Structure 1
C-alpha cells in the first residue's frame, strides 16, 4: 500500500486513505489502509485483504495497487498484534483473551466501513496464510456478506492443531501470556525449510531472494508469537479444520483456493487439495483451485507474481460480472 502520512490523498489514479478504529479486543486501535480508483462510478468491486502471521499491510502494496488499477477498491488492516495495530512492540504477536473473536470482529468492522463507502458493488475477501484461516473463520460467520472469497496459502486439516493449542494454553498459564516460546515456534515452523537450499531460515517463503531478504530485515516481520498468540493461532486452525466449518460456508459462495506447489503450509498442495475436496463433497458448487508449480508460500512475492495477480483479478472479474 502506498503509505499516506495523514488523511485522504487524491492522485490522478487513486484515492488512498488511512484510518483507525478501536479493536474489539480493547487492547489497541486497528490501523487500516485503502486504495481505490478516483472515479467512484468506475469501482466494480471491493476486495478486503487479510494479511498473514508476523507481517503487516504494507507488504501488500503492489497487490493493492494492481487491484486498484483494475477497478477495485481495496481495504486492508493490520491485524491485532501486528504492524501499527499494537500499543507497543511488546504486544506484537499478542491477541488478548478472546483472540480469534477479536481478530474476526475487527475484520467485520472493516467490512462495515468499506460497504458503507461502496454499498452497491460485489465484495470479495482475500486472506493469505494465517489471514486465510481468518478469512475462513469470517466466511463461516459472515459469508452472507460476501460475493466471493480467496484462500491463499492456506492449510489443510491439521491433527496437531489441537495438541498445539493445549500446549500453548499450558505455557500461557505457566510462563505468562506474553512469553515468547521458541519451542512453540519450532513446533509451528521447524520443518518448513526442509525442501529449500537453506540460505536463510525463511527460504520457504519465496524463491525470490530479494523478497526473502526484505522480510528478514523488517522488524515488523518474522517475529516470534507470544504463548497467547500461538494459542490463538492453533485454536483458529483447529476451528477452520472442523467438519462444522465446511458446513457453515455458504454452499453457493464462489471460493478460490490458490497456493504454491512448494508451499509447506499447504503440505505442498496436499492440504489445499484436501480443503477443496471437502468443500466440493459438502455441496459447495463454486469452488476453484489453482496451484503454481515451484512457487513457495508467498505467491504474491514469488518470481511469477505478475501471473498470480492477473489470475486473481481474472477470477475477481468473473465474480464481479455475475
Structure 2
C-alpha cells in the first residue's frame, strides 16, 4: 500500500535548499533514488514513481540545484562535486529513514553521470545502480565549449522534443512544462566537460552492480558512451542493453512499462 507523496526540502552542504519528494510503500522491497536529467526536474518522474510503487518500491527523487524547485542559479553548475555532494546529502537522509532497506540508484543522463562520479569516489554505499542514457565520455560533443561565446545560451537538444521520445503526449508535456529549462550556462557545460574527463580517468574505480540502458537512436548522448562505460568499469556484475530505435528519454518512451519492468526484475535478482 502506498503511503502517499510528500514534498520536502533539505539543505545541501552549502545551505542550498534542495527540493525532494518521497513516495513510500508499506514493507518496501527496496528504496530507489531517482536523479533526473539536464534541464528537467523530478516531477517528470511521476509515472515512473507510481509504477515502481505498484511494484513494491519506495521512491525518493530530488531536483538538482538550479533545476525545478531547488534553489540555485537556473541551469548553472560551478563544479560537478556540488552535485556529487548533493547525492550524499539525499542518501544520508534515505539511510536514516530506511534503516533496513537496500537502496538502488536510478539516473537519467546527468543524473547517471553524477551517480558515476559518486560511485567512483564512494564504495559500498548502495546495492546497485541503473543508468539510463548516461553522459560518460561525451561522444557527440554535447559539452564542448570552444564555440560558445556567451554566458547563457539556448540548450539546443531540448528545443526539439521529437528527439527525446516517440511518445507524442510526452513531447507536448515537455513543451508545456514551465519548469523545463530552455537555457543553461556556460559554467554548466564547462563543469560537465571537466567531469567527463575525470570519469574517463576514474572508471576503473567503479565497481557497483549496474544495469546500463541506452537507446540506439539517442541523438543527445550517444549509446557509444554507455558502451565505453560498460567496457571500462571493473564491476563484476554489469549488464548493458542498447534498445533498438529508442531515443534519449527512455523512461518517457512508449515502451516505458517494459523498461520499468526490466529494471524491477534486475533489482529483484539482486535481492534474492
Instruction: Using structure 2 for the length normalisation, give the TM-score.
Output: 0.91
Q: Is the 2:112–2:131 contact (alpha carbons within 8 Å) kept by the matching residues of 1? A: yes
Determine which of 55, 60, 65 is the counterpart of 1:70. Answer: 55
| Structure holding more helix per residue | 1
Instruction: Give the counterpart of 1:246 among 194, 199, 203.
Output: 203
CA RMSD, aligned part only?
A: 2.3
The residue aligned with 2:238 is 287
1:44 aligns with 2:35: no
Greater Rg by CA: 1
Instruction: Give the whole-Å Cα distance in 1 for the aligned partners of 2:185 and 2:174.
Output: 20
Report the equivalent of 1:197.
none
- The residue that corresponds to 1:17 in the other structure is 6
- In structure 2, the residue matched to 1:81 is 66
Aligned pair count reads 272
1:94 aligns with 2:76: yes
Higher strand share: 2
State the SS of the aligned residue for 2:231: helix
TM superposition shift of 1:238: 2.5
Q: 1:315: how far off?
A: 0.7
Q: For 1:68-107, what per-residue CA distance to the aligned partner results, in whole angstroms no more than 9, with x for missing partners?
A: 22221111110000000025xxx21023x4x311111111
Contact 1:57 1:77 in 2 (8 A): yes
Displacement of 1:233 after TM fit?
2.3
Does 1:263 find its partner at 2:218? yes
User: Partner residue of 2:227?
Assistant: 273
* Conserved? CA contact 1:15–1:35, under 8 Å: yes
Q: Quick one: structure 1 residues 237 and 133, their matched pair in 2 at CA, closer, same or farther if it must change by over 3 Å?
A: same
- Tell whether the 8 Å contact from 1:156 to 1:270 is kept in structure 2 after alignment: no
2:21 corresponds to which residue? 33
After superposition, what is the alpha-carbon deviation per residue over 1:39-78, rounded to whole angstroms, capped at 9, x for unaligned? 2xx2121111110000000000111111122221111110
The CA deviation at 1:159 is 6.6
Counterparts of 1:235 and 1:218, CA distance in 2 = 30
Aligned to 1:55: 40
